[in-house]
Structure 1
Amino acid sequence: MSEVGDLLAARIAAEGPIGVDEYMAAANSHYYATRDPLGVSGDFITAPEIHQMFGEMLGAVLADCWVRAGRPVDAVYAELGPGRGTLANDALSVLRRAGFTGEVHLVETSPALKRAQAKLLPEANFHDEIDSLPKAPLLLVANEFFDALPVKQWVGDEERRVIHDGTAFAFTIYGLIRETSPARDEAAQTLAKRLAAYGGVAIVIDYGHSKGEQGDTLQAVRDHRFSNPLDEPGEQDITSHVDFAALSEAARCGGATVSRIASQGAWLETLGIGARAMALAAKNPQDTERIAAARRRLCDEAEMGRLFKVMAMRAPVWPEIAGLEA
């Protein structure tokens, strides 16, 4: 059993069953603190690592929003869970060309990922939590951030918990699962309050559902394959689908104006990823098929296009994000 597994088993033996959220939080805290999980040699690949077009599209919509907001000189670029810094690097290349000269602020707790981010973005300022970001207008991105925050699971009104039978971890009850995430709601509300108080916009991209669907979505990934979330805690990435309806409600409660929810593929196509792909292929004809394959992976419904959703929250006085207008 893993190191975290031993600790959790001992805790359960001493205190009794623990919540799914407690299990997930402990496992992911160790997992992200001890490795760079991204890329072919890691456990999974995120959209920014697929192709530069993803980050460029985000940089373009942030630049457009910043310009329409009057080019506030105190605005900063911020990102929650910025991976290796790839998305920030690609987005900032577009923002800088638009005249944005603001600081870069990254919310990251993983020492391994901080090292990768600092190497790519030496100007970055690091934070452990949203509340320590500057009191300034934010141009913020959260890509695959909320899915890793812990969830509670319920069967009816009874909370599902995790036990250890001396050999393996197991759930206390089974049935029709309902998921809630106080951690996600708190993060969304905290971010919304900062936007409402100091200005700015935040784009949230993640896999999930938009109409309050219910069910067990807890999953784990290791070596680019799905695995049992109860196996080897701390040695695999545990996530669940983001409830964008709940996230929207939390953001509104925090005082932000919230956009409609769109699928990633439709949004990127609306922004013009097709034209960008053609322009890149014209300059790099030897990469034409790789560029086309990246676009398909990002946008096709059978790939990331439909499962991944996009939502924006903003200060009420700031303009809407392109492609997410009501």
Structure 2
Amino acid sequence: MAGPIPLSQYIAAANAEYYAHRDPLGSAGDFTTAPEISQMFGELIGLWAADLWQRAGSPDITWVELGPGRGTLTADALRAMAQVGLTPPVHFVETSPTLRAAQKAAVPDATWHDDVATLPDDRALIVVANEFFDALPIRQLVRAGDAWRERMVACQDLLFLPIAGKDVPDSIVPEHLRDAAPGSVIETSPANVGIARAVAGRLVRQGGAALVIDYGYEGPAIGDTLQAVSGHRFANPFEEPGSRDLTAHVDFATLGAAAGMEGVRVEGPVGQGAFLTALGIEPRAEALARTSPERAEQLAADRARLTDADQMGELFKAMAWTAPDWPEPAGFA
């Protein structure tokens, strides 16, 4: 590295290296996502999509998942959707060769894309993004004295460390945050905004809906949420870049505003627990327990992990974007 680089560039390079060569999921990896916790998660999302599709008049659709992990969510959703006759073609947006191989094992007939630009444009889309936006690069602005500066990353003797860069204009800082205390941090994600607008524009032109589930908050707000996870434990995001997952909490207010600029209807965010409960996770867990009594205790624990406020139920949030002429999606009343 010739000199300090923006934090966003550091995150992009580190995560590109990280995801290119490993499957980070599961007990042997670095973290576990909701689809890997329980089949109920993907099944309920599949039924959410099928319900919306039926009420929209059962048009031709394409199923799209952004950052689909091992393909588990889509595989579970396809099984649920097939029960009501919905068997859409599947398109994945994924750049990791390792994860593409896992996805192919789970959903052999999928089509892969490097980004959303090449997705089909001849039919409506149902787009799912579970823990996708949190892994995209962020910028951080740091209050230094009476000025805001962009956070950069410098390398010294093979050690990476964050430093304050050049001043940025006050005009790019939300007015209510401009006089924050020294040391305060504001995060923005041009990458998130760009993809949200691209997907929303597709929905307006083609019809359909998108479901975004991730951990985050409603901002803009003061706070440093950059984190690294390694072996299911938090780690230093500036140590061993490329060997650990770098993420940041998603600003749902900004994400929703970006999508709304394109003309979609924005629903939420609501807590993941409330969303899954509205979709029927409790009766689904009970039905599975009746079928497999030996799994009843584990099913109850999995449901709690997905929905309880002190686990994933409130930190994780759901948001939907729908085309103007499509019906309102379930789970957001």
Distance 1:20 1:213 in 2: 18
Match of 1:65 in 2: 52
Match of 2:98 in 1: 112
Per the TM alignment, residue 144 of structure 1 is displaced from its structure 2 partner at its CA by 0.2
Match of 2:167 in 1: none
Please tell me whether residue 29 in structure 1 is matched to residue 12 in structure 2.
Answer: no
Amino acid paired to 1:120: A
Q: How does 1:77-116 map to 2 (within 5 A)?
A: 77-116=63-102
Per the TM alignment, residue 107 of structure 1 is displaced from its structure 2 partner at its CA by 0.6
The gaps in structure 1 that reach 5 residues or longer are 1-10
Task: Give yes or no for contact 2:78–2:87 (8 Å, CA) kept in 1.
Answer: no
Distance 1:126 1:96 in 2: 21
TM-score, L = length of structure 2: 0.92
Distance 1:160 1:175 in 2: 11
Distance 1:260 1:37 in 2: 29
Amino acid paired to 2:252: F
Please tell me whether residue 272 in structure 1 is matched to residue 280 in structure 2.
Answer: yes
Distance 2:265 2:222 in 1: 25
TM-score, L = length of structure 1: 0.94
Amino acid paired to 2:322: R
Per the TM alignment, residue 211 of structure 1 is displaced from its structure 2 partner at its CA by 4.0
State which of 121, 125, 135 in structure 2 corresponds to 1:148.
Answer: 135
Per the TM alignment, residue 167 of structure 1 is displaced from its structure 2 partner at its CA by 4.2
Distance 1:79 1:324 in 2: 21
Distance 1:47 1:212 in 2: 26
Distance 1:78 1:285 in 2: 34
Distance 2:26 2:185 in 1: 32
Per the TM alignment, residue 208 of structure 1 is displaced from its structure 2 partner at its CA by 0.4
CA displacement 1:88-112 (0-9 Å, x = unmatched): 0001111111111321111110000
SS of the residue aligned with 2:268? coil
Please tell me whether residue 214 in structure 1 is matched to residue 200 in structure 2.
Answer: no
CA displacement 1:115-135 (0-9 Å, x = unmatched): 011111111011110111111
State which of 244, 250, 261 in structure 2 corresponds to 1:253.
Answer: 261
State which of 240, 243, 247 in structure 2 corresponds to 1:232.
Answer: 240
Q: Which runs of 4+ in 1 moved over 4 A?
A: none
Residue identity over aligned pairs, in percent, reads 53
Please tell me whether residue 303 in structure 1 is matched to residue 289 in structure 2.
Answer: no
Number of residue pairs matched? Answer: 311
Per the TM alignment, residue 253 of structure 1 is displaced from its structure 2 partner at its CA by 1.3
Per the TM alignment, residue 266 of structure 1 is displaced from its structure 2 partner at its CA by 1.0
Amino acid paired to 1:261: P
CA displacement 1:43-92 (0-9 Å, x = unmatched): 000000000000011011100000000000x2011100000000000011
Task: Give yes or no for contact 2:186–2:220 (8 Å, CA) kept in 1.
Answer: no
The gaps in structure 2 that reach 5 residues or longer are 165-181
Please tell me whether residue 185 in structure 1 is matched to residue 176 in structure 2.
Answer: no
Q: How does 1:40-79 map to 2 (within 5 A)?
A: 40-72=27-59, 74-79=60-65
